[in-house]
Amino acid sequence: MTITEEIKQLKKEKNAVILAHYYVTPEVQDIADYIGDSFYLSKIAVGLEEQTIVYCGVSFMGESAKVLNPEKTVLMPDAEADCPMAHMADRETIERMRETYEDLAVVCYINSTAELKQYSDVCVTSANAVQIVKALPNKNIFFIPDRNLAHFVAEQVPEKHFVYNEGFCPIHEEMQLEELKRAKEAHPNALVLTHPECTKAILELSDYIGSTSGIINYAKNSDAEEFIICTENGVRHKLEKENPGKRFYFTETEPVCADMKKITLEKILHVLKTGENEVQISEELRELSKRPLEKMLELAK
Ligand code: 13P
Ligand code: SF4
């Protein structure tokens, strides 16, 4: 039996379902039952019939799935796969901001630990941040942890006052403007599709800015034939699969999220066999971090 067949068989035996983010490797994407961006995956995780969720992504994603579905078993193929940005904010600063601004909404990018979510008013993803911030009654917004997404949202919602936090995604932050300029010179007809975790300089050269699903949908629906993609290289798989006639380029130094790439078929098989790496979360933390996640799902309807 191949490893893929073994996974499929065990999945049935254990009543399990596999969720995967677009940044994981192509072979892991191909074995998944559901694949998507953070927003889609957080929505789909609610109301699945299977008892066990194998989450092919980083720890904040598995945590959110567990928070929203406490009765389910959530297994992480690699317990060390973590998003560095998810830790780039702190309780003390949040409390200081709440004292400084009476009318403050703490808006928490879903790429954050449950620990941070519990001090926040609402979660957002890159797919719904603008819509949700617009819908909030608060004038003052403290946006954690990502400063790049915060600046992007602030530009779309000029009526609000933003306080920024110094977090960032190292993979998107390190994308080089010079490399993008060279890619544009090499492919003058290509449209630039960019994730809002990139820096302002990269966003300014972009034709479209959106989540990973947003980028994939844009490329599919566009009449253009060439695209320069400014996000993690895992999205190439879906882009090429869905658009055989179109060409996709990345910058010379392709952005790779080493944590997302830790997920392998062998590790999926291992957790299915052993039940190891189950996401555990205390009832108190679960209750507190559930509120901003549920508020997001409600406001993004
Ligand atoms: P999406 O919201 O597009 O899934 O992005 C998640 C992420 O980790 C980006 O680096
Ligand atoms: Fe975190 Fe960046 Fe990896 Fe996304 S690409 S999971 S934000 S480190």
Taking residues 175-193, report their average pLDDT: 98
Predicted local confidence at residue 195, as pLDDT: 98
Are residues 54 and 268 in contact, defined by beta-carbon separation less than 8 angstroms? yes
* 3-81+260-282 and 85-169+288-299 agree in CATH topology: yes
For a ligand 1 pocket test, name from 40, 108, 109, 111 the mutation site with the most ligand atoms within 8 angstroms of its C-beta: 111
| 68 φψ region: left (φ > 0), alpha (ψ -120 to 50), beta (else) | alpha
Are residues 300 and 132 in contact, defined by beta-carbon separation less than 8 angstroms? yes
Percent of the chain past pLDDT 90, that is, above it, reads 99
Residue 110 CA to ligand 1 center (angstroms) comes to 9
With both helix axes pointing from N to C terminus, report the angle between 235-242 and 212-221 in degrees, rounded to the nearest 10.
20
- Which residues does 210 contact at the CB level (< 8 Å), separation at least 6? 126, 127, 193, 195, 196, 218
Predicted local confidence at residue 254, as pLDDT: 97
Reduced 3-state DSSP string for 14-55: CCEEEEEECCCCHHHHHHCCEEECHHHHHHHCCCCCCCEEEE
Give how far Cα 88 sits from Cα of 130, 147, 168, Å: 21, 10, 8
Predicted local confidence at residue 71, as pLDDT: 96
Taking residues 154-160, report their average pLDDT: 98
Residue 259 CA to ligand 2 center (angstroms) comes to 8
Predicted local confidence at residue 215, as pLDDT: 98
User: Per residue in 52-70, pLDDT tens?
Assistant: 999 999 999 999 999 999 9
Rounded to whole angstroms, the Cα distance separating 20 from 25 reads 10
Are residues 65 and 50 in contact, defined by beta-carbon separation less than 8 angstroms? no
Percent of the chain past pLDDT 70, that is, above it, reads 100
Confidence of residue 95 (pLDDT cuts 50, 70, 90): very high
Name the CATH code of domain 3-81+260-282 (choices 3.30.300.160, 3.80.10.10, 3.40.50.10800, 3.30.460.80): 3.40.50.10800
Residue 60 CA to ligand 1 center (angstroms) comes to 11
Domain 175-249 in CATH 1.10.10.10? The answer is: no
Residue nearest to atom 3 of ligand 2 (CA): 257
Is ligand 2 within 6 A of the CB of residue 85? yes
Predicted local confidence at residue 30, as pLDDT: 98
Taking residues 189-204, report their average pLDDT: 98
Confidence of residue 255 (pLDDT cuts 50, 70, 90): very high
Predicted local confidence at residue 102, as pLDDT: 93
Confidence of residue 243 (pLDDT cuts 50, 70, 90): very high
- As assigned by CATH, the class of the 85-169+288-299 domain is alpha beta
Taking residues 108-132, report their average pLDDT: 98
21 CA: nearest ligand 2 atom: 6
Are residues 233 and 254 in contact, defined by beta-carbon separation less than 8 angstroms? yes
41 CA: nearest ligand 1 atom: 4
Domain boundaries, the chain: 3-81+260-282, 85-169+288-299, 175-249
